[in-house]
Structure 1
Amino acid sequence: MSTGILDRSKTVQTLNVISEKGLSLLDGDYLVDDKIEDPGAILLRSYNLHEVALGEHLLAIARAGAGVNNIPVDECTNRGIAVFNTPGANANAVKELVLTTLMAASRQLFDGIAWTRKLKGQGNAIPKLVEQGKKQFVGKEINGKTLGVIGLGAIGARVANDALDLGMDVIGYDPFISVDMAWNLSSYVKRVLAIEELYAKADFITVHVPLTDQTKGMFNEKTFKLMKSNVHILNFSRGELVNDRDMAIALEQREVGKYITDFPNEAVLNMDNVIPIPHLGASSKESEENCAIMATRQLKDFLETGNVKNSVNFPDTSLPFTGKKRITAFHHNIPNMVGQMTTVLSSFGLNIADMVNRGRQEHAYTIVDLDHNVDDPVLNNLKARLNQIEGMIKLRII
């Protein structure tokens, strides 16, 4: 769908079904549709953007979910397109499924149900067959067992805390835990500094880390050798964290007792003692609503004020929006960028009412509020001059 709206920042393309509770936050000033050509913003869930040409006017992409592997983040960064996600919005849904499957797998519930269904047609003999056959599904209680939690972010911390309430001993490993997440973690969770210690002690291991070059295939032949025999491994993060070939061998040799994964594929479905779940971790009505609301709010705030929260490629940056003309600049994090900007503003006789600058590795983001209104012709000339600064990637005037 093409649009005659002049303000492209008020056009939002939806590439998945997004909960109406989120979309309702975009008032009548916005055009929201799944067929908009060259939109100002994109809202999506799991839609694969890697093979899609991103439009010239695209300012931001918001994913109603945590992972952004379906978004070409590097390309977006190079073009100054902000990418947002919603960490923590689906945490409760994932936590509930982790603990549900942990308990069900330990008690052989899935195998028992599958076996019972095969008794169909046995009529009055079913109760007797059940009593005779149930002994093959004797499981273990999780009370008193040790759970290892790798990654103590929004999901991992909730899993760890609730597992304590279920009577488990909990070991946590996260070398990058934030201060905010540390506050949310029970003091009874034993943190270890070496992941090898967690491997050696845990009866169950659940992983909650992003997929990176460092974490890809982190569960492999070498790490399985460090774990307790018959350990149960739960993966609700990314399928690629596990080396499938090595997992198949570990399951055959009973180094791993069960593998519970939210990411089935052909290799996984051919393994014994796998509990394959059809990517249901965040699939609850409440989770989809929470993610949609959070993604839409962050996107709308960025489009209307330039403020950044929960971006994976822009630093978190905000100033209270007073309605004065605002300049936002995404640029390389190099010396004298802010100085050059203020020099240009001074040459136009413009005074700064407020300003904030935040860096994130190789890039930085600057917000400048002007002290008074400026005519459009002056703003156009100002924008052109600021764009001439070497290292400038994307500049907006709001």
Structure 2
Amino acid sequence: MFQYKCLNPISEVGLSIFDENYKEVDELNDADAVLVRSAAMHDMQDVPNLLAVARAGAGVNNIPVNDYAEKGIVVFNTPGANANGVKEMVIAGMLLSSRDLIGGNRWVEENKNNPDITKAMEKAKKAFAGTEIQKKKIGVIGLGAIGVLVANVARNLGMDVYGYDPYLSLKSAWNLSRSVHHVNSVDEIFEHCDFISVHVPLMDTTRNMVGREGIAKMKPTATILNFARNGLVDEDAVAEALQEGRLRHYVTDFPTPKVAAVDGVIAFPHLGASTEESEENCAVMAVEQVMDYLENGNIRNSVNFPNIDMGVCQTQGRIAILHRNIPNMLTRFTGMFSKDGINITEMSNKTKDNYSYAIFDLDSPIEEEAVNELKAIDGVLKVRVIK
């Protein structure tokens, strides 16, 4: 019996996938797995029984990823599950920044009791005139699951699309419209585009990647769209540019005190993935990944350990070892199996940065003494007997 805890409300569409071998618990210390959306987990370090954390979403800033790696806790996310919801928000944000629909709607609300509203609006609407997005240039920084969708739909709307991603995956390349112009530098996007949409993860290398120097290269009529993560755009530089008329709009899903009250900012309360479909998709992916890991040892979409898929064990035993990426670990594992007369029928070992993961399918069940020998090897973080 596996036990799980939900730190946030998780869609029942996903939770319904759990079968009779799974039980929801109230106490974190009793859980083998945690499902989470936005709850902060950095103070949740005393978790001796925890094997996996699944974030129903893409960002994992609320999870102590590296600390959990050292404890042998696999952290999953669900990239692409909410991509369509975020894509639609980006397009909505672009339209709202081009046409003053918010101002026009506010005018109607303020004048809704005016008996002459029909006559008055013909004069008032001049204040809310805007521009069309067709034939405008949009630069998409980051061509992952969301960026590709944004680029493709913008192209279908008649826009001239520029894309930048030095780490473009083969899958994204296949899905990307051939009409997208690939550029080799974000400066090309800053200099030429009317809209700049950011779709990269927040890391040390991407923090404030849209900063003072980049904004200085932009057209004064440009709009920055940030539906990816707070911290990617230098808010001080944005506020200054808006106040000085060097930027038209900043559209963001991450309002902060620095920008929320600045004229030219269109902000939303982190609504990008707040659709029924996105929440269901994220929950389904998170639950399926947790189940495959707990039952079979397979890892898919982990942010701190490598992906491995050995399918379902067809032999007498399977053992999984989370370990540090240091020399001679495989030699020590296989040497121990050989010493104990255990035959390996199939194995896989993958590495991701400082950590590695090995799975061994064996032709006989492994004894507790052998498991303890593996745990005692320097560099081993966690050993699990799957079967």
Band of TM-score, shorter chain: over 0.9
Match of 2:378 in 1: 390
1:308-347 alignment runs, 5 A limit: 308-323=299-314, 324-347=316-339
Pairs within 5 Å for 1:184-263: 184-263=175-254
Distance change >3 Å, CA 64–CA 362, structure 1 → 2: same
**Residues 313-365 of structure 1, C-alpha deviations (whole Å, 9 max, x = no match):** 11011112135311101111122111110110011111011101111122111
Are 2:7 and 1:15 aligned? yes
1:163 and 1:193 map into 2 onto residues whose CA distance is: 20
Q: 2:124 is matched with which residue?
A: 133
Aligned pairs (5 A) from 1:264-279 = 264-279=255-270
Describe the superposition over 1:140-192 as per-residue Cα deviations: whole angstroms up to 9, x where unpaired. Answer: 11000000001100000000001100000000011111111111111111110
User: Which AA in structure 1 matches 2:374?
Assistant: L
CA contact (8 A) 2:29 2:49 kept: no
1:4 corresponding residue in structure 2:
none
Offset of residue 240 of structure 1: 1.4
SS class of match (1:88): coil
1:372 to 340, 353, 364: 364
CA distance 1:321–1:66, change in 2 (3 Å) = same
Aligned to 1:183: 174
Aligned to 2:30: 38
Task: Find 1:98's aligned residue among 85, 90, 101.
Answer: 90
RMSD, aligned CA: 1.2
Contact 1:15 1:34 in 2 (8 A): no
Q: TM-score, normalised by structure 1?
A: 0.94
Q: Which amino acid in 2 is paired with 1:91?
A: A
SS at match of 1:53: coil
- What is the CA–CA distance in structure 2 between the aligned matches of 1:259 and 1:139, rounded to whole Å? 16
Instruction: Letter of the 2:61 partner, please give it.
Output: N
Give secondary structure in 1 for the equivalent of 2:350.
strand
- Find the residue that maps to 1:94 and give its secondary structure: helix
Q: Distance in 2 between matches of 1:271 and 1:215?
A: 24
Tell me, yes or no, if the aligned pair for 2:306 and 2:351 is still in contact at 8 Å.
yes
Deviation at 1:309, TM superposition (A): 0.3
TM-score by length of 2: 0.97
Q: How far did residue 22 of structure 1 move? A: 0.7
What secondary structure sits across from 2:266 in the alignment?
Answer: strand
Q: Is the 8 A contact 2:29 2:50 kept in 1?
A: no
Contact 2:57 2:77 in 1 (8 A): yes
Q: Distance in 2 between matches of 1:13 and 1:298?
A: 15
- For residue 116 of structure 1, report the CA deviation from its aligned partner: 2.4
Is 1:114 the counterpart of 2:102 in the alignment?
no
Inter-partner Cα distance in structure 2 for 1:218 and 1:118: 40
Q: Structure 1 residues 34 and 153, CA, compared in 2 at 3 Å: closer, same or farther?
A: farther
Q: Does 1:144 align with 2:135?
A: yes
For residue 200 of structure 1, give the secondary structure of its aligned residue in structure 2.
Answer: helix
Alpha-carbon distance, 1:36 to partner: 4.5
* 1:140-179 to 2 correspondences below 5 Å: 140-179=131-170
Aligned partner (choices 290, 315, 325) of residue 299 of structure 1: 290
Quote the sequence identity (%). Answer: 47
| Structure 1 residue ranges without an equivalent (≥5) | 1-6
CA distance in structure 1 between the partners assigned to 2:88 and 2:4 by the alignment:
32
State how 1:70-109 maps to structure 2 within 5 Å. 70-109=62-101
Matched to 1:312, the amino acid is: V
